[in-house]
Amino acid sequence: MDPVPRMVSPVCLIKNEEGKTLQVNPEAERILKNISQPLVVISIAGPYRSGKSYLMNKLAGACGGGFCVGDTVEAKTKGIWMWCIPHPEKRDHTLVLLDTEGLGDVMKIEKQSELSILTLSVLISSTMIYNSKGVIGQEDLEKLYAVSEYREYLMDRESKNTQEDGEGVEPEVIPLFIWVLRDFSLQLEINGRPFTEDEYLENCLKDIPNAKSLKMQQKNMIRQCIRAMFPTRKCFIFGSPPPSNQTTELRPPRDLNEQFTRKTEEFCQYIYDNVEAKTLQGGQTVTGSILWKLLPKYIKAVKSGDFTALETSISYLAAEKNEKCIKSATNLYEEKMKSKSVHMESEFQELHDICMKEALQTFQRTYFKHKKEENRKYEDALKAILMEKKNSFWKLCEESSLKVCSDLIQQLAKPLEKALHENKYHVVGGHGAFTEEKNKFVSRYNQECGKHVKAEDVLQAYLKTMDNVEKIIHQTDTKLSETKKRKYKVDDVGDSGQLTDYIRSYQLESKTHQRLLIQVIGFTGHGKSSFVNSCLYTVHSKSFENHAAECSTTLNRRGYQLTESITIADNRGFHPMDSSVMNEIYAQLGGFVPLNQPVIWGENKHLPLTWANSSVPDLVVPVLICRATYCFNNKEFQEMKQFLKDSQKITKILPFVVITNKLSGSSDYLEGQFFQMGIEKIYALENYTVQDHDRVRQKHLVFLKFLYDVLQTVDFIFK
């Protein structure tokens, strides 16, 4: 909070000049309007020349100077004087000390001004100190009772608060009342029983028992009104200082007795510890800037005696302050909302919630607290404004995002739109090609930044426009595929042309798999890669190419697209057969190891045979490659037999066996061994190689028959 403007001495707060009305001193106004801290306001009243200024100076910690004191019968203080200092113990609070004009000055012509000063001090203060000499007398009680108009206003409000259920009704904040008795020389005891200072005060304010006369009843009414007007009370009694020709205020501390000094310190410490900041009805803490605005209204109310108008004035003041607080909180909300970009509606809502919470907290810290119903009214007004701002921000976000996303889609969808315009997807396999291109478009769209809140809505709206187009493409593709299947029927398995057309046009009938994956497995160096090259060569009928890197060790699991629906995979070869190698082969067969990634033996240990990755959309056909010159011993025979059974468990298809290099050895014996292992489909053949790839009809026919049998087996399983 802002520091308190330095005041080296008190200034007049309320001028009380003879023949003129009470006025606020402009110099004091300038000081107050620059204090944003809560004010702890201590005012003192009482008969003139009773030592009021001395107590105020002690509270200010002044060693010299301060409030004016004197040693003559002339009253020194006129009006109300103010001294603002940092509070000695309450951080960020300002202690405001008010020394009022003494009561009972015989030189005064206008006695009404005394009542006005006293009433003003009650209105302004957190604590009202009444300072008098000797015992509490009836004259002092009557002076306090004389604050009649304000007293009646308070009593009227108290009555209303009692009658109503309390909802929306705030009690009036009444200052703490302290009676200071100076030069008290009597013993504090009644009927031999010692009394405390506070008990003495309460005893003096008690009703006179058996008050039957009108005069006694009036005295009791005065006591009752004082008790009602000051419900919280405290008393300090100062004994007489040692005799001197100087007043107490002008004596050096060494000339005062220890008891008097100790009582003064006790009085000051009580004020520091117990007096809170000045608050208004509703709990609003009064700062210097608020008191500056209230002072003219207080004076007007005291002058006219109409304190209900004061309540209206405070309502106007609250309205003025709260309108500014609403505007400030709204500006804070707007700044916070503009400071961060959001990409989804949920992010926008989260940002709004955070900014709205911070704006409401700021408002609640700074707003002018008044009546409960008015407080709620201002807070509800702020919430309504913030919701309007939220809707405006959301509309701007939507409009900006819609334009960015629409422009982006128009740009990214050009290849797809062009292909649609040229009917490129109205062919066999067109739906798959369309889906692939659409997915590429979606991926590119999602990778772009800066789309913000309408990104998903705009994308889905565009894809929705493609639904009918995709439906037509799918219907056309299905119809053409069925026609093609009927057209490419194999009547003669010895006709390589029919076999080639059938394989090229083959469509997988399984609804749960997207492609047929021929998994080529086998011993290292037995011709797996050459077999893959040969299949690609015979189906595509193009020039021979060494796709599978023949004559090099296959360490990766690579896939090659044979047709639109068929992929052939060249897996890493094994030798010898052991558990770590077999587990890795099982992982490849089950789709656990992705295509086109390195295969490291021993990574997949202790895998159950039922673990196959069902999420992989491949229908797997296992094909074992074995060279004709190979011969299994008894141990290897049993291991291979078990391996082939396990492969069937994983893929649900009995493995095919291809014996390569049939001219280099006796393939009949090896075929017999595989038959004994339970294998039904065995093919002995010679691979096309890099050194020998001249087209040979019979060679072509063997590979085509193998692929045809694979497809027939797959169709048989799903039919």
Q: Decide if pLDDT at 445 tops 70.
A: yes
Taking alpha carbons only, the member of 512, 515, 573, 568 closest to residue 540 is: 568
Question: How far apart, in Å, are the Cα atoms of 551 and each of 57, 688, 707?
Answer: 108, 13, 24
The pLDDT, as a whole number, for residue 104 is 59
Pairing type for strands 618-627 and 656-660 reads parallel
Residue 619 phi, psi dihedral angles, 5° rounding: -95, 115
Each residue of 229-282: pLDDT tens digit? 888 999 999 987 655 544 555 555 555 678 888 999 999 999 999 999 998 878
What amino acid is encoded at 327 in this protein? K
Q: Can you tell me the mean pLDDT for 22-42?
A: 92
358-372, 402-416, 620-634: range with lowest mean pLDDT:
358-372
The pLDDT, as a whole number, for residue 542 is 78
- DSSP-derived secondary structure letter, 580: H
Q: Decide if pLDDT at 218 tops 50.
A: yes
Taking alpha carbons only, the member of 308, 128, 114 closest to residue 231 is: 128
Determine whether 265 is exposed, middle or buried from the number of CB atoms within 10 Å of its CB (0-12, 13-18, 19+): exposed
Tokens of 415: 């290849």
Residue 608, SS3? coil
Model confidence at 471, pLDDT cuts 50, 70, 90, reads very high
Model confidence at 608, pLDDT cuts 50, 70, 90, reads low
Tokens 């919470």, located at residue:
357
Q: Decide if pLDDT at 626 tops 60.
A: yes
The pLDDT, as a whole number, for residue 280 is 86
Question: How far apart, in Å, are the Cα atoms of 128 and each of 10, 153, 678?
Answer: 18, 18, 111
Calpha distance 119→115 (Å, rounded): 6
Q: Can you tell me the mean pLDDT for 391-413?
A: 90
Q: Can you tell me the mean pLDDT for 204-208?
A: 92
Contact call for residues 554 and 548 (beta carbons, < 8 A): yes
Work out the percent of the chain whose per-residue pLDDT is above 90. 39
- DSSP-derived secondary structure letter, 61: T
Determine whether 568 is exposed, middle or buried from the number of CB atoms within 10 Å of its CB (0-12, 13-18, 19+): buried
426-435, 488-497, 505-514: range with lowest mean pLDDT:
505-514
Model confidence at 171, pLDDT cuts 50, 70, 90, reads very low
Q: Decide if pLDDT at 165 tops 50.
A: no
Work out the percent of the chain whose per-residue pLDDT is above 70. 86
The pLDDT, as a whole number, for residue 168 is 41
Calpha distance 540→544 (Å, rounded): 9
Name which residue leads in pLDDT, 480 or 134: 134
Each residue of 328-386: pLDDT tens digit? 999 999 999 988 888 778 888 999 999 999 999 999 888 888 777 778 888 999 999 99
Each residue of 497-554: pLDDT tens digit? 899 989 988 888 766 788 899 999 998 889 999 999 999 999 987 789 988 887 666 6
Each residue of 379-401: pLDDT tens digit? 999 999 999 999 999 898 888 88
Each residue of 297-316: pLDDT tens digit? 888 888 887 777 777 778 88
CA angle centred on 123, ends 122 and 125, rounded to 5° = 65
Neighbours of 387 (CB within 10 A): 12
Each residue of 70-112: pLDDT tens digit? 443 344 567 899 999 999 999 999 999 999 887 755 445 455 6
What amino acid is encoded at 109 in this protein? I
Question: How far apart, in Å, are the Cα atoms of 648 and each of 35, 570, 583, 590, 651?
Answer: 90, 18, 14, 11, 5
